[in-house]
Amino acid sequence: MIKKYILKIIGPKQLKLKLRTLGIILKLEPIVRSDNVKLEARLAKTKGEIKSAQQLRFKVFYKELSAHPNILTRFTRKDKDTFDKLCHHMLVIDHAKIKKGVLLTRQKKENVVGTYRLLPQRINKIGGGFYSQDEYSLEALLRRHSEKKFLELGRSCVLKDYRRKSTIELLWQGVWKYIKDNNFDVMIGCASFQAKNPKDIELPLSFLYHNCLAPREWLVKAQPSRYVNMNMIPKDKIDTKEAFRLMPPLLKGYLRLGAYVGDGAVIDKQFGTIDVFIIMPKKNIEQRFIDKFSIKES
Q: Which of 5-9, 44-48, 212-216, 261-265 is the least confident region?
A: 5-9
DSSP lists the bridge partners of residue 117 as: 89, 154
DSSP H helical segments within 41-183, as ranges? 47-57, 71-76, 121-127, 139-144, 165-182
- 182 has which bridge partners? none
Task: With CA atoms as reference, report the closest residue to 150 among 127, 125, 177.
Answer: 125
Measured distance CA(167)–CA(215) in Å, rounded: 32
Q: Answer positive or negative: Cα dihedral of 34, 49, 62, 280.
A: positive
Residue 34 has pLDDT above 60, yes or no: no
272: left (phi over 0), alpha (psi -120 to 50) or beta: left
- In angstroms, the CA 276 to CA 263 distance is 8
Q: How high is the mean pLDDT of the chain? A: 84
Tens of pLDDT, residues 231-287: 999 999 999 999 999 999 889 989 988 999 999 999 999 999 999 999 999 998 866
CATH number for the domain formed by residue range(s) 2-293: 3.40.630.30
Least confident of 35-44, 88-97, 213-222: 35-44
**pLDDT at residue 229 tops 80:** yes
Percentage of the chain lying above the pLDDT 90 cut: 62
Confidence of residue 15 (pLDDT cuts 50, 70, 90): very low
- The larger pLDDT score, comparing residue 5 to residue 73, is at 73
What are the tens digits of pLDDT across the range 49-76? 999 999 999 999 999 998 998 898 999 9
